[in-house]
Chains A and B, each alone.
Chain A
């Protein structure tokens, strides 16, 4: 079963703009993670935020977590063509469950 629900399902923005994706979940978690998947099969771990953290940065990525609202957001600043991919949030307790994903397309 899937727990995370990403919003929007698809997003197209101009190169250089910021992209924001949201994730909502239903149950308690130990941490929440974001992954990227380029066309094909490779899944890459981007960032992990623990349940006692509210914000985390990694390069051009900024993740927030609001456990009271059971939601997280992923912000990609100054987007590049190479950021075109599907992005998934995944919630973790004793197993890791993926949301449906957001397809991000960066327009040149």
Chain B
């Protein structure tokens, strides 16, 4: 199993600003993912964070809006750039060792 620490746990941000969410895994994992979950909805995959190369984004998500870093096998960041109220959501980091382990999530509210 893997333990994932994600921070911040919540934040309230102004429109037009950016927020970087950090995700730390207690062991080396091959795959890390970032998901978004809006209230009452399922998880939507934003991107796969690749170590040593650019993240792989899903349809509807672009690097300029959601830049992702993964400098090593235990750490990744997701930045939500130039935020608008539509970005208000829970953002979840996960690590895969066949099954997924999740961080506790970041609840983002954009005013």
Q: Which residues of A contact B33 (CB under 8 A)?
A: 95-96
Number of residue pairs A-B, CB distance < 8 angstroms: 51
Q: A2-B44, A96-B33, A96-B45 are in contact. Are A90 and B105 (CB under 8 A)?
A: no
Q: What secondary structure prevails in chain A residues at the interface with B? A: strand
User: Is B63 at the interface (CB under 8 A from chain A)?
Assistant: no
User: Is B86 at the interface (CB under 8 A from chain A)?
Assistant: no
Interface size on B, as a range, is: 20 to 34
User: Is A45 at the interface (CB under 8 A from chain B)?
Assistant: yes
Q: Tell me which residues from 62 to 108 in chain A have a Cβ below 8 Å from any Cβ of chain B.
A: 88, 90, 92, 94-101
User: Is A1 at the interface (CB under 8 A from chain B)?
Assistant: yes
**Are B99 and A2 within 8 A (Cβ)?**
no
**Are A97 and B45 within 8 A (Cβ)?**
yes
Q: B92, B101, B107: which contacts A45 (Cβ < 8 A)? A: B101
**Are B100 and A96 within 8 A (Cβ)?**
yes
Q: Which residues of B contact A99 (CB under 8 A)?
A: 42
Q: A99-B42, A100-B42 are in contact. Are A33 and B99 (CB under 8 A)?
A: yes
User: Is A21 at the interface (CB under 8 A from chain B)?
Assistant: no
A30 to chain B, nearest CB (A): 9
Q: Which residues of A contact B45 (CB under 8 A)?
A: 1, 95-98
**Are A41 and B104 within 8 A (Cβ)?**
yes
B66 to chain A, nearest CB (A): 16
Residue-by-residue, is B4-40 near A (CB-CB < 8 Å gives 1, otherwise 0)?
Answer: 0000000000000000000000000001010101000
A16 to chain B, nearest CB (A): 28
Of the A-B pairs whose beta carbons lie under 8 Å apart in the complex, a sample of 21, sorted by A's number, is: A1-B45, A1-B58, A2-B42, A2-B44, A41-B90, A41-B107, A42-B102, A42-B104, A43-B100, A43-B102, A48-B99, A92-B98, A94-B48, A95-B31, A95-B45, A95-B48, A95-B56, A96-B45, A99-B42, A100-B41, A100-B42
Sorted nearest first, the 3 A-B pairs with minimum C-beta distance are A41-B105, A98-B43, A43-B102
